[in-house]
Structures are given as C-alpha cells and as structure tokens.
C-alpha cells in the first residue's frame, strides 16, 4: 500500500462537508458483496473526520420501517407518477440512514433478481431510487457532494447535469461516481429512457448509448464531476481494452478526473483478537489460537483433524467468472493431488458450484464445499486456513485477501487490481512480503505459485511465520482511504464552485 499515515491522520474540516452516500447495498442492511462492506464502513470514517454524512438506500425486504420523513414524493415514470416515501433509518455511529420506501419495487426476495435472472423492472427500480434521493436533497437542504456507487445510483449524476441542471436547489451539488466493478453496467434497451422519463436525446454515443443499448454506468462515468474506483491498479487497468468492458475509451477520455482509492476494511468486524465467530482468539504476538481455529474449521467442513500440519487452503467468494475458478477447473487433479485440504464457501454460477461439489465427491477427505452465504463461516475460514486463494481474472479491490492478512492467512492471488496493490510478494532473501502472486492468467501459473507457497509452508516454518506476521501487522483501516475521499470531495466542491 502506498499509504502515508501522517498525510491523512488529523481529522480536518472544521465545518465539514455535507455528504450524501447513495448506494444499493450497505451492511448491516443489505449485502451481496464487498460494496456493502465499503458503504457500511466509509461513512463512519468520514464522520470521524468531521463531516455530516447521510447514507441513502432502498428499503429492501427485512429492513425495519422507520418514521416517514418525506411522504409521497412524486416521481415521473413513463406515463405515470409513482409515490415513494423516504423513511428515517436512524443514526448509527454518527451516520444518518434514510430508506426510499416503495414496497412494489423493493420488498422482494432478492436485491437484483432471482434464479440467475435480473428483475425485468430494474431500470424503473433504480431510476425511482435515484430521483427520490434528489427530491429528498431538495427538501432537506442540498449536500455539497453526492457520492454514488455502481450503476444502481449512476443516474444521480446524469439527472444532476440534465433534468435538474437549472434547479436552484441542486445546481451547485457535486457528484462522484465510484465504480466497484466495471463488469456490472446496468444495460437496458433504448426504450428504457422513455420508461423512466429521461430525455430521449441521452440516446447518443457521447451520452448513454452503448452499442445500440443504454448503459447507466456510462452515464455516471460521463456526467459525474469525478470518477473513482477502488484501487490504483484497477483505475489504470480499466483504461485498457483488456479490463475496460467496452468502456475503456470513455474512461480514457476523462483520465484526468479518474482516480483510484483503495478500500479500507473494518477491523471492528474482522479482527482475530475479538472476532465472536471464531473458535479461539489470537494475535501476531500469540498465534496459538489459530491452530484451534484450524481444527474447528476442518470439523465444520467434516474433514479429518488427525494431521493438523497439512495446509488448509480457503476460499470465500461469489462463484463468478471474475473470480478465476476456471483456473482450478482446468487442471483440478493437478491441484488436488497435493497434500492439502481445500475448503470453499460460495454461491453463484451453477457450473462453479458443480465444480466444487464434484471435487468434494472425488476427494472427500481433502476437499469440502458449502454452497451458501454464511458470514460466520466466512470468518471461520479466514481464521482457520493457512492460505487464502483468490486467482481472480479481474479484481477491482477485493476485501477477503485484506481480511486474510489480518488473520495470518497467507494470500495466494493473481496480480490484478486491488490484489496487486495489497499483497506484497514474498522475497526469500529479505523475508519481506505478505503473500504469493502470479500474473499470467493460466492454470499452470496458478499451480506454480501455489506450489511455491506450499514449499515455504512445509520446509521453512520460520519464514512462514514471518510471512504471517508481516501480513497481520499491515494496516488497511479506513482512516487513510477516507482521507483520500475527503480530498476528492473538496476537489469536487472547488470544481462546482468554479462552475
Ligand atoms: P466481491 O465484492 O467482488 O464479491 P470482495 O472481496 O470485495 O468481493 O467482497 C466479498 C465480501 O462478501 C466479503 O465480505 C466476503 O466475506 C463476503 N462473501 C462473499 N461470498 C460469501 C459467502 N458465500 N458467505 C459469506 N460471505 C461471503
Ligand atoms: C466489487 C469488487 C471487489 C471490491 C468490492 C468493494 O464487488 O468485485 O473487488 O472489493 O466491489 O469495492
């Protein structure tokens, strides 16, 4: 990490900024991936730095209703008006939460879709959300900056610079579009513009048109005052065709306003010294508890506990193309013939679920999988494994490898995006480094890297211990990254004031 702790150490901003954070997910309310962890933690860190922060989310199923603070907002939707409420979600850790309540859209089984199909009205659902946020801003006093996350809130910058551009209340509100994953773009048919009451002239190549369709994320990338993504390396990668998902040209065009800010992690949640989910606590000064966690993990997965020296490789992941598990599929036997345990927790694309199920069947004493979403088990894997595997094809930031570092679980990763920015390669000469990396996206490169790690694990226990401790001592807490966001928000305010 290129962290300079002193640079961002002192909470500044005597008066502070008024910030709206608009996102589709946030722990503890709704989560499908790391975005929710980020939106759960960044606002707290911004409040500590003296800012006034409100988080706005849809009120999904399971989120308790609160008092209605803005009833019956009129939102145009094609030929109709819809009337959502805004509810007060109360304050937590100094952060105010508000929920856009419209049960017909958000009171559903899942966030974005069911049985691998997106909900057919996602355009309407998130257009309603974005517009309601702006109406709320008008009624409650506009923020200095609206910080938008992923395609679900990317209409906010579009609306600010088009339909609301001359609104006396909102015309001085700045926006930042943060991309957590360029692969998810919110692509809809051209008639979606009309369906959500956006101007038809947005259908053009320099606006939201994307190969004959509409890309909401492209809108956010074009209209936001600044664009950020979640690691410095990914900010560079997405300007190349290999990682640009068709939007690299758009991002290159405004490269001077694109920045990478590495995610922090919430050590209140992910800390082996206090974690309530794990079998024993431990720290860099006393690692004894980690072996207890390893035994417990093997038991959880029904694997033998007779030889605790054998390395446990852990995986916690969405099972998606992004995560690189086809590199295991390509040569699974070569992987499994090593003397190791492999435990995997995840859900997602059926062929990856099947891959791990088949491996568990074929190697029942070495491999086990849990096809589920299970937060407590995720913590047990971080604590009980020796190695954490993330062979991602692309990885904007990645949080699990950062959690692994804190738990003394050595990451083996592909050197891409945030994995490259957070895992320092082990150098046998100096003893420096925190993990193992490979670059070429190939099964043979993954295997070679894993074998190098296993060799150090087996034959150099002192070096391995040092590696573990090097990782445990790294600090990826939010304060530094929140400081970088703060600087970015002040840049936005300046830009907006210049007009
Ligand atoms: P992504 O957001 O791309 O899925 P990240 O590494 O940024 O990847 O974040 C993933 C987050 O989701 C982590 O907090 C991880 O622990 C959690 N997670 C992913 N899959 C599962 C699962 N099956 N059960 C529990 N937690 C999971
Ligand atoms: C996305 C990315 C992941 C990142 C997370 C939080 O889901 O896939 O790499 O850590 O968002 O920013």
Model confidence, pTM = 0.95
Q: What span, in angstroms and rounded, lies between the C-alpha atoms of 103 and 86?
A: 12
String of DSSP letters for 311-324: PEEEEEEEESGGG-
- pLDDT band for position 12 (cuts 50, 70, 90): very low
CA quadruple 361, 393, 483, 39: dihedral, nearest 10: -50
Residue 116 reports pLDDT greater than 90? no
pLDDT at 447: 97
- In a mutational test of the pocket of ligand 2, which residue from 32, 33, 262, 348 has the highest number of ligand atoms less than 8 Å from its CB? 33
pLDDT at 82: 98
pLDDT digits (tens, 9 = 90+) for 48-102: 999 999 999 999 999 999 999 999 999 999 999 999 999 999 999 999 999 999 9
180, 148 in Cβ contact below 8 A? no
212, 378 in Cβ contact below 8 A? no
pLDDT at 277: 98
pLDDT digits (tens, 9 = 90+) for 448-466: 999 999 999 999 999 999 9
pLDDT digits (tens, 9 = 90+) for 19-28: 999 999 999 9
pLDDT at 225: 98
pLDDT digits (tens, 9 = 90+) for 250-303: 999 999 999 999 999 999 999 999 999 999 999 999 999 999 999 999 999 999
pLDDT at 15: 74
Ligand closest to 180 (CA) is 2
- In a mutational test of the pocket of ligand 1, which residue from 26, 33, 368 has the highest number of ligand atoms less than 8 Å from its CB? 33
Long-range interactions of 192-201: CB distance < 8 A, separation 24+:
192/123, 194/78, 195/77, 195/78, 195/123, 195/124, 196/77, 196/78, 196/123, 196/124, 196/127, 196/128, 196/155, 197/76, 197/77, 197/78, 197/127, 198/127, 198/155, 198/158, 198/162, 198/163, 199/162, 199/163
pLDDT digits (tens, 9 = 90+) for 122-162: 999 999 999 999 999 999 999 999 999 999 999 999 999 99
Report the pocket of ligand 1 as residue ranges, CB < 6 Å: 33-35, 37, 316-318, 345-347, 373-375, 378, 397-400
Using a 6 Å cutoff on CB, does residue 401 contact ligand 2? no
């Amino acid at each position: 990490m290129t962290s300079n702790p002193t640079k961002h150490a002192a909470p500044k901003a005597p008066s502070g900024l008024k910030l709206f954070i608009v996102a589709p997910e946030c722990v503890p309310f709704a989560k499908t991936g790391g975005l929710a962890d980020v939106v759960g933690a960044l606002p707290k860190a911004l409040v500590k730095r003296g800012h006034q922060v409100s988080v706005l989310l849809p009120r999904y199923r399971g989120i308790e209703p609160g008092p209605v603070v803005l009833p019956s907002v009129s939102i145009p939707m094609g030929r109709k008006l819809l009337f959502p409420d805004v509810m007060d979600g109360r304050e937590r850790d100094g952060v105010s939460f508000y929920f856009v309540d419209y049960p017909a859209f958000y009171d559903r089984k899942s966030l974005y879709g069911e049985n691998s199909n997106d909900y057919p009205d996602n355009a309407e659902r998130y257009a309603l959300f974005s517009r309601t946020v702006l109406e709320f801003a008008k009624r409650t006093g506009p923020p200095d900056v609206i910080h938008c996350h992923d395609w679900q809130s990317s209409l906010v910058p579009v609306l600010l610079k088009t339909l609301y551009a001359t609104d006396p209340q909102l015309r001085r509100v700045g926006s930042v579009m943060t991309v957590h994953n360029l692969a998810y773009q919110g692509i809809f048919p051209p008639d979606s513009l009309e369906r959500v009451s956006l101007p038809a002239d947005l259908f053009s190549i320099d606006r939201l048109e994307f190969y004959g369709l509409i890309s909401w994320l492209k809108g956010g990338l074009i209209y936001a005052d600044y664009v950020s993504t979640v690691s410095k390396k990914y900010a560079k990668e997405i300007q190349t065709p290999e990682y640009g998902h068709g939007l690299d040209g758009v991002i290159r065009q405004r490269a001077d306003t694109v920045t990478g800010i590495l995610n922090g992690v919430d050590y209140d949640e992910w800390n082996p010294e206090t974690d309530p989910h794990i079998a024993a606590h431990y720290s860099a000064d006393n690692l004894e508890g980690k072996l207890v966690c390893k035994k417990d993990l093997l038991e959880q997965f029904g694997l033998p506990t007779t030889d605790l020296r054998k390395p446990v490789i852990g995986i916690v992941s969405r099972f998606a193309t992004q995560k690189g598990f086809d590199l295991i599929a390509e040569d699974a036997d070569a992987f499994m013939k090593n003397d190791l345990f492999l435990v995997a927790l995840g859900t997602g694309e059926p062929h990856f679920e099947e891959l791990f199920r088949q491996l568990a069947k074929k190697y029942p004493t070495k491999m086990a999988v849990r096809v589920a979403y299970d937060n407590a088990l995720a913590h047990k894997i971080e604590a009980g494994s020796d190695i954490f595997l993330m062979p991602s094809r692309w990885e904007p930031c990645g949080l699990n490898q950062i959690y692994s570092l804190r738990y003394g679980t050595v990451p083996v990763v592909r050197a891409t995006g945030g994995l490259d920015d957070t895992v320092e390669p082990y150098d046998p000469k100096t003893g420096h480094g925190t993990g193992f990396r490979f670059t070429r996206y190939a099964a043979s490169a993954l295997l070679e890297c894993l074998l190098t790690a296993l060799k150090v694990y087996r034959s150099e226990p002192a070096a391995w211990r040092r590696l573990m401790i090097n990782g445990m001592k790294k600090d990826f807490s939010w304060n530094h990254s929140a400081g970088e966001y703060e600087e970015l928000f002040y840049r936005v305010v300046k830009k907006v004031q210049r007009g």
